[in-house]
Structure 1
């Protein structure tokens, strides 16, 4: 009896004999024949390399490299997780990891603590932001630049990691033995009443506990008298689709459509509705987004916009309208693969890049604004697809100057804050601290003594101009003229700092507060001085303008 194979079984059988003869049911031109043929070629190439290449071939490293290159050719979100990276994958989805509660960053050619979880094992042991990790379990990091400190820090809860730490303000490293624990990464990192009657929730992630944390924050803020809400999704990279759906359900009524996924595997296509009673469908809301608001965070912003449930404020979001699922692979490996696009209630997909049709250099093409389709919210307001969520009220964000970018790129603000913290045990409380003229002067003096190098755009342009006119007859005279005006165009750090003081001051304030008061202090600073939060507070104080933004009827 002849057995009819479904496409999946046919494909699996077709690759079982890779490296050997091809199955008889495939034929040239058939898709599955091409798959089997090319896998056979690949296996033979690897066999030849392994046998004859002049140096020993590491099969694990070689195969992982080829898999990564393969997946990278599709999109940045289709990713392979080898066995040694499964913990990282689980951390992203569950929000839990086993460690001591710090983030290490390479700063000034050393490994420094750039973030510390309050009440974590590291914090309780006395470590702080800016501290330099010198050794981990006996390994001297300066002698092992190829070693990933994160791997050395790994270990099961209950085990101990041995550290040698040069703390800020100290000259001799100190040993620490810190017991690892299971650390829960918070999704809601700030929930507070920021003005009378106005609540604020900062949601930074969408791991498995996101909905629970937002719901808890909402209930608590209502108890404290919240009558209006700011939901901050800026810089939120997204996460689990299920959490985005459930968070939307907190604000829209049961039965309302939230999101639909459409892909090649039809049986995986699904429409998701709000399954539970909402917590709050009436409280006026502002949702803050920016160009780093992505994926699940864009679903929440887009759904609330489509139902006219909130005013979206800020900058255009990132534009990730793709859905990934995780597939288990052999030997405890996994693959996250893009399987569908998602569509929010108005019918739009906000994907900004077309990974199927790429530019000549291999980069994905951006969907053109001219090709954007018009959709409508529940109240008939126009919205468009193909490039992120466009806010109802834009907040123009001035790009950082070249000087500020250089300071941040070389971690100069971080390094100054660390040194300042080492020399001064206290600063004013987070709710009142401000970088004044005296601190700016100290920063200026410190910068002059540091190894910071910077060339102002005007100096760069003058040098280019001199180079371009070198072969001209007037060059000598021109050169003499420019050199006589050196003080006007030659980079001067004191002048640059004075020129950009308004821009540098808040950046330095944030860095110093983070060193002294961690995330909690930074939250306090933000609700006092962050321009976007202040704009949201201002809008919520103008009910007529707020209502007008949500009620414009544009649908024909």
Structure 2
């Protein structure tokens, strides 16, 4: 085995050699002795397995499993990053990489382009959503994993890459030149109406605050008098960017967040350092269950200062801070070192990973153990479960037929075919799926499999299963059979009953082909319940003040 193929094992051995020095301190530090002892046992175990196990073992693979299993005992955010994954990690933290600028994935067992980013090589070279990968350079990638294709597409900026794809019945070949790809944290911003601006913030990678600032200043120049900041589905990212975004709306010198851990150098208070761009404009922040980490800091800090009204659903509850520590052989470990505490003093972490039940599962903080804190105006807020909205809007539910059409990629596939036949459609705000287009879709579905079980049918199946265990089942059998006839769904009827939500799914899918990621966001605003709620709140200054001065709990 080549030397560089055994990096994880060598990492352990290197640490072990260093740890030999610790034995002289056994009496002084039992913890260091325990670490050295167990590293010795671990290295001995791998060595003996390599010598005695009946089949050949892969030390790299075994050690990686051991490392990952060990870290899983702590929390989901502490992870080992081997050298070969460092580029992917850098992309997550900086939003930058060298490549062609396209989101790729696997649909119906085929690797394809899911979204080319506007203005980057893939889109400029004519690649489209739904193009199926055949070759990258000289490599046949039809049976490759998506991650392998991603690695082949990436590379230093200004280097060539050949890509061959299948589009319908056609084979398309393009020569692209890789570029430094910088993904914007704000894929879309604009005016919802004459007075209200809207900014969609999807990440907190490098330049997130600059992206928001630029969008906000442009909207102000267009005369907006209120703002909707949308951090729904935002997984978070760089803490500094969150602090600077809060600083756009909060005066200089105010605490935004503090981190508290077990070692002194992670205990830091982060304050605003600049004069705000606008400390008075009414703001609504949209949140949901997938808003996490830095997104929760922004939403929570603005709530704690009574600077914004939060609308949506309770956030994810990730209040843990990770620090990246370099290890041997260009590997790294991302380790949880502290917890976040926002200005009111509350921690937003929802799950206590230090305490596990008898099955080894971590549990959410129970309501009885949540503590009360107060916002600037004296509103009562609670810790231990993410950030709760000031105004709740329930999540939208969809009919089983809509789920089936989306899950089976039928709406996606129809979008591909429609795009190949139609050069253009109206703008995202103007385009609608009219009755004629919907009829075209329904006709296209004929002969395609998309059956499903409705909620009522599933409930009836459960009823039959349990009824058969009872001695009186034969007495009610005829009634159950009659009920089954009445509740059995008709796909054709459901296509009519639920056409409104199916049309909306079709609309957004088709718009994505012509207007890319920003088009999807703009299209979604039309029927967004949270947006409607936000407009209603922002149109009434008295309502805003009422919300921001009311007690959440008496």
Q: Deviations over 1:291-323 (max 9, x none)?
A: 111100110111111111111111111111111
Q: 1:14 to 1:185 in 2, by over 3 A?
A: closer
Q: Does 1:34 align with 2:5?
A: no
For the residues of structure 2 that align with 1:337 and 1:504, how far apart are their CA atoms?
Answer: 43
Q: CA deviation at 1:400?
A: 3.1
Q: CA deviation at 1:220?
A: 1.5
Q: CA deviation at 1:278?
A: 1.2
What does 1:397-476 align with in structure 2 at a 5 Å threshold? 397-470=395-468
SS in 1 for 2:281: coil
Does the 8 Å contact 2:189/2:200 carry over to 1? yes
Q: Deviations over 1:373-406 (max 9, x none)?
A: 1111111111111101111111122333444333
Does the 8 Å contact 2:404/2:450 carry over to 1? no
User: 5+ unaligned residues in a row in structure 2: which ranges?
Assistant: 1-11
Q: Pick which of 459-468 and 207-216 moved more.
A: 459-468
1:85 corresponds to: 85
Provide the TM-score with structure 1 as the length reference.
Answer: 0.91
For the residues of structure 1 that align with 2:464 and 2:105, how far apart are their CA atoms?
Answer: 40
For the residues of structure 1 that align with 2:130 and 2:358, how far apart are their CA atoms?
Answer: 44
For the residues of structure 2 that align with 1:469 and 1:104, how far apart are their CA atoms?
Answer: 48
Does the 8 Å contact 1:19/1:44 carry over to 2? no
| Aligned mate of 2:513, from 504, 512, 515 | 515
SS in 2 for 1:173: strand
Q: Does 1:314 align with 2:312?
A: yes
Q: 1:180 to 1:255 in 2, by over 3 A?
A: same
For the residues of structure 2 that align with 1:459 and 1:553, how far apart are their CA atoms?
Answer: 44
Does the 8 Å contact 2:133/2:142 carry over to 1? no
1:331 corresponds to: 329
Does the 8 Å contact 1:135/1:141 carry over to 2? yes
Q: 1:33 to 1:13 in 2, by over 3 A?
A: farther
| Aligned mate of 1:281, from 274, 279, 282 | 279
| Aligned mate of 1:297, from 280, 295, 298 | 295
2:533 corresponds to: 535
Q: Pick which of 364-373 and 55-64 moved more.
A: 55-64
For the residues of structure 1 that align with 2:343 and 2:471, how far apart are their CA atoms?
Answer: 68
For the residues of structure 2 that align with 1:471 and 1:457, how far apart are their CA atoms?
Answer: 22
Q: Deviations over 1:141-199 (max 9, x none)?
A: 333458732122222112222211112xx302211221111111101111212211211
Q: CA deviation at 1:522?
A: 2.0
Q: 1:177 to 1:90 in 2, by over 3 A?
A: same
For the residues of structure 2 that align with 1:118 and 1:450, how far apart are their CA atoms?
Answer: 33
Does the 8 Å contact 2:247/2:275 carry over to 1? yes
Does the 8 Å contact 1:448/1:493 carry over to 2? no
For the residues of structure 1 that align with 2:83 and 2:225, how far apart are their CA atoms?
Answer: 48
What does 1:188-267 align with in structure 2 at a 5 Å threshold? 188-267=186-265
Does the 8 Å contact 1:95/1:209 carry over to 2? no
2:119 corresponds to: 119
Q: CA deviation at 1:477?
A: 7.3
2:58 corresponds to: 58
Q: Does 1:135 align with 2:135?
A: yes
Q: Pick which of 48-57 and 274-283 moved more.
A: 48-57
Q: Pick which of 190-199 and 311-320 moved more.
A: 190-199
Q: CA deviation at 1:472?
A: 6.2
Q: Pick which of 220-229 and 523-532 moved more.
A: 523-532
* Runs of 4+ off more than 6 Å: 18-22, 471-474
Q: Does 1:75 align with 2:68?
A: no
Q: 1:51 to 1:459 in 2, by over 3 A?
A: same
The CA RMSD over aligned residues, in Å, is: 2.6
Q: Deviations over 1:54-97 (max 9, x none)?
A: 33222222222221111121111111111111111111122111
Q: Pick which of 14-23 and 511-520 moved more.
A: 14-23
Q: Pick which of 13-22 and 377-386 moved more.
A: 13-22
Residues matched between the structures, number: 543
Does the 8 Å contact 1:252/1:274 carry over to 2? yes
1:106 corresponds to: 106
1:3 corresponds to: none
Q: CA deviation at 1:523?
A: 3.2
Q: Deviations over 1:27-80 (max 9, x none)?
A: 599222211111111111111111122332222222222211111211111111
Q: Pick which of 202-211 and 474-483 moved more.
A: 474-483
Q: Pick which of 442-451 and 468-477 moved more.
A: 468-477
Q: CA deviation at 1:421?
A: 2.0
Q: 1:19 to 1:350 in 2, by over 3 A?
A: closer
For the residues of structure 2 that align with 1:278 and 1:471, how far apart are their CA atoms?
Answer: 68
Q: 1:17 to 1:83 in 2, by over 3 A?
A: closer
Q: Deviations over 1:497-531 (max 9, x none)?
A: 33333333322211111122212322332333322
Q: Pick which of 279-288 and 461-470 moved more.
A: 461-470
For the residues of structure 2 that align with 1:424 and 1:14, how far apart are their CA atoms?
Answer: 61
1:97 corresponds to: 97
Q: Deviations over 1:231-258 (max 9, x none)?
A: 1111111000111111111111111111
Provide the TM-score with structure 2 as the length reference.
Answer: 0.91
1:545 corresponds to: 543
1:7 corresponds to: none
For the residues of structure 2 that align with 1:486 and 1:25, how far apart are their CA atoms?
Answer: 75
